[in-house]
Amino acid sequence: MKEYNVAIAGVTGAVGSVFLSILEERKFPVKNLTALASARSAGKTIKFNNEKIEVKELKNDSFKNIDIALFSAGASRSLEFAKHAVDSGAVVIDNSSAFRMDPSVPLIVPEVNSEAILKHKGIIANPNCSTIIMVVALKPLNDISKIKRIIVSTYQAVSGAGAKAISELKDQTEKMISGRENEIKCGVFPVRIAFNVIPHIDVFLDNGYTKEEMKMVYETRKILQDENIKISATTVRVPVFTSHSESVLIETENKINVEDARKAFKKANGITLMDDFEHLIYPTPLDSSNKDNVFVGRIRDDISSENGICFWCVGDQLRKGAALNTVQIAETMIKKGLI
């Protein structure tokens, strides 16, 4: 089997560490791994396949002889360094928002639109985590009947906001439980997250929606290749450590009955069906944490519209919502002989 020289930009971050574990788990054909991060992380060591690898500073000339560059160092870093990686001969798979809406850059979820990879010009974008989880679940229903409208509310784990957000939830929870509420400080989040929910993620835009919500709108249309889908999203931060949950209502051109939806979900790639309300079987964040699939349940008719159907889905946003999807893109490219 051919092996590849792989670079990870942002290797010391939350997604970067998951990159390492997923590459190991899936036995990705890595010949040599180059670990890249900011200057403050240079000199540290990471472990990959039982070997210690020194972290190097991410620079313009970091990509010599690299075949595949996995980026998760933030949009500004991607904009600064991705072109240098491409010019050095690498294929860049970027996990930031930098290139998602660039019409020349494919936005890929392999279970949904792998054929769009063929259009790449050196850079491929990984969608937003909440978008990935939703479109994996939308795909089998859209194959039955074209989706016309989507209303989605997300319940997003704090780990989506990084390591400091996890620490903030832990610290606030400990202080609440021990009766030291007056000592609680907010840093990552504008208000207390422990025992609370925050009905916005990212900055507000002029239309009253947040940047996170509009990402779901624009990215979903691009992935499903349909600019006419009507989409409304509400994104909420909840005091959960890992895995995002989503309540999704869709309207389709033709009515999809619940049993046909269940059958479609059951046979779809990347989906685990947990749907038996009579026995209280439905997915929760705990079911999907550290798992690769998107979990789907609570499938039911939308009683407010003629051709509507509702479902609930959960997925680990660090795995399928980020690192796993990125690695799957690389695997798809190898399978198609594009690298």
Report, as residue numbers or ranges, the catalytic residues. 129, 244
Q: Which of 53, 52, 55, 51 is CA-nearest to residue 41?
A: 55
For 325, which DSSP code? Answer: H
Tokens matching residue 202: 């990212």
Q: Rounded to whole angstroms, how far apart are CA atoms 98 and 32?
A: 26
Distances (CA, A) of 279 to 196, 271, 274, 275, 276: 29, 20, 11, 9, 6
The neighbour count for residue 300, using CB atoms within 10 Å, is 16
β 51-57/45-48 pair status? antiparallel
Q: Which of 191, 197, 216, 221 is CA-nearest to residue 205?
A: 216
Q: In residues, how long is the chain?
A: 339
Q: Rounded to whole angstroms, how far apart are CA atoms 284 and 296?
A: 9
Q: In this structure, what are the phi and psi dihedrals at residue 75, rounded to the nearest 5 degrees?
A: -60, -40
DSSP string, 33-100: EEEEE-GGGTT-EEEETTEEEEEEE--TTTTTT-SEEEE-S-HHHHHHHHHHHHHTTPEEEE-SSSST
